[in-house]
Amino acid sequence: MSDWRPTASLAHLQDRACVLAQVREFFAQRRVLEVETPLACLHTVTDPNIESYSFADRSNQRYLQTSPEYAMKRLLAAGASDIYQICKCFRQGEQGDLHNPEFTMIEWYRLGQNIEQIMQETVELITQVLKAFELSKQVEYVTYADLFSQSLGVSFADLAENDIDQICTQHGLQSVRKFSLAQKIDFIFSHVIAAKLNSNAITCVYHYPAEQAALARLNPDDDSVADRFEVFAGGVELANGYVELIDADIQLARFESDQLSRTNNNLTNIEIDQRLIDAQKHGLPECAGVALGFDRLLMLALGATSIVQVMSFSWDNA
């Protein structure tokens, strides 16, 4: 007999509804407009670390979106002001205590904000939600390089590839030796450093290496780092944000680099979303954006140990 029951308790689903209302009130007070964009589109991300779900639609292939970022940026280029949305996103092959292939994202964009301002707003949203559940956590800010150096006792600026390989060996990560240097550094950060972050704090890690800029601009005063940050609760990533890259030519070159990486790693080739590039050429305003995992935030607020405890039905039970 099949198990038809929800994976979340009714109490957790009531809490979920309350937090959704709280998030909407947070943005309403700041006059940020709620928008909706399509979940099924003709294009998806080229990021070699993310795999999308696709399906056939007549003569076209469509993709379930891993994030509403591209469509929201097209709205900004068309003249929209500050915007946000709460929507479902889909990522193939991501399943576990902290992952469900279908999950809920809060994503928002603020015109004219710098990295300090958008980080502060992200922290305000997280702490307001936690406060409603009588939870309080200290907030810490640290650069990527400083955290790397403090955690491993090495100078991030002076690291050579041999040093990275030695760190991988010390922590049982020999399997990443085939990765690029940038991928090795990211893997060490994710599996060794972030996993040991203070569980009693909200930690904002900022100024990621330029090689991990993705769709972020490089810092105007130091092009070795990107104006990108992530927010963690202990070892759990809650949010990823950055001051947006608005140069279409640089963005196109990054997408082409992604395609090359996908080819070199025998991954499916993904066409570049030309509509996003054209929108940037038309004029993406200076802005900053954040993607925050709503389900993970709710897990933190409720003390849940698995993401399926805060959503009505898991991927395997839908």
What crossing angle do the helices spanning 294-302 and 115-132 adopt, rounded to 10°?
Answer: 40
Contact between residue 238 and residue 300 where contact means Cβ atoms under 8 Å apart: yes
pLDDT tens for each residue of the chain, 318 residues long: 678 999 999 999 999 999 999 999 999 999 999 999 999 999 999 999 899 999 998 888 999 999 999 999 999 999 999 999 999 999 998 899 999 999 999 999 999 999 999 999 999 999 999 999 999 999 999 999 999 999 988 888 887 777 888 888 887 776 766 677 788 888 889 888 998 899 899 999 999 999 999 999 999 999 999 999 999 998 899 999 999 999 999 999 999 999 999 998 899 999 999 999 999 999 999 999 999 999 999 999 999 999 999 999 999 998
* Per-residue model confidence (pLDDT) at position 177: 64
Please tell me the number of Cα atoms within 13 Å of 97 on its side-chain side. Answer: 9
Q: What is the pTM of this model?
A: 0.95
How far is the C-alpha of 276 from the C-alpha of 82, rounded, in Å? 18
How far is the C-alpha of 318 from the C-alpha of 314, rounded, in Å? 6
Contact between residue 219 and residue 270 where contact means Cβ atoms under 8 Å apart: no
Residues paired with residue 85 on neighbouring β-strands, in sequence order = 107
Contact between residue 88 and residue 20 where contact means Cβ atoms under 8 Å apart: no
Cβ atoms within 10 A of the Cβ of 201, count? 14
Beta pairing, strands 60-64 & 40-41:
antiparallel
Burial of 5 (C-beta count, 10 Å sphere; 0-12/13-18/19+): exposed
